Amino acid sequence: MGQLKFSRLLNIFLICAVLLTGCAQLSVNAQVVKSDVPRNASPTVNPEDIEALATGNQAFALDLYQALVEKEDGNLFYSPYSISAALAMTYAGARGETEDEMAEVMHFTLPQDRFHPAFNALDLGFTRLGEDIEGDERKGFKLSIVNAIWGQKDYDFLPEYLDLLAKNYGAGLRVLDFAADPEKARQIINDWVLDQTEEKIEDLLREGILDSATRLVLTNAIYFNAKWHLPFSVSDTRDGAFYLLDGSQVTVPLMAQTASFKYAEGDGYQVVELPYIGDELAMDIFLPSDGGFESFEDSLTVGRLNEILETLEPTSVFLTMPKFEYESDFSVGDVLVGMGMPSAFGDGADFSGMDGIKNLVIGEVVHKAFVAVDEAGTEAAAATAVIMVESAMMDMVEMRVDSPFLFLIRDFQTDTILFLGRVVNPEA
Backbone phi and psi for residue 386, each to the nearest 5 degrees, phi listed first: -105, 120
Instruction: Write down the CATH superfamily of domain 230-323+393-423.
Output: Alpha-1-antitrypsin, domain 1 (2.30.39.10)
Task: Give per-10-residue mean pLDDT for the chain (428 aa).
Answer: 39 33 41 72 94 96 96 92 98 98 98 97 86 86 94 95 95 94 98 98 97 97 97 97 95 97 96 96 96 95 95 97 96 96 94 95 98 98 97 70 92 88 90
Write the DSSP symbol of residue 138.
Answer: G
Q: How far apart are CA 224 and CA 198, in angstroms?
A: 10
Q: How far apart are CA 243 and CA 20, in angstroms?
A: 44
201 touches 207 (CB < 8 A): no
pTM: 0.87
Q: How far apart are CA 120 and CA 77, in angstroms?
A: 25
Q: Helices 112-126 and 47-69 sit at what angle, rounded to 10 degrees?
A: 90
282 touches 138 (CB < 8 A): no
Give the side-chain half-sphere CA count within 13 A for 405. Answer: 24
Closest Cα partner for 334 from 324, 345, 323, 321?
345
Instruction: Map out the domains of the chain as residue ranges.
Output: 6-226+326-390, 230-323+393-423
pLDDT reported for residue 38:
84
Q: How far apart are CA 48 and CA 10, in angstroms?
A: 12
pLDDT reported for residue 248:
95
Q: How far apart are CA 287 and CA 272, in angstroms?
A: 9
**CATH class of the structural domain 6-226+326-390:** alpha beta
pLDDT reported for residue 397:
81
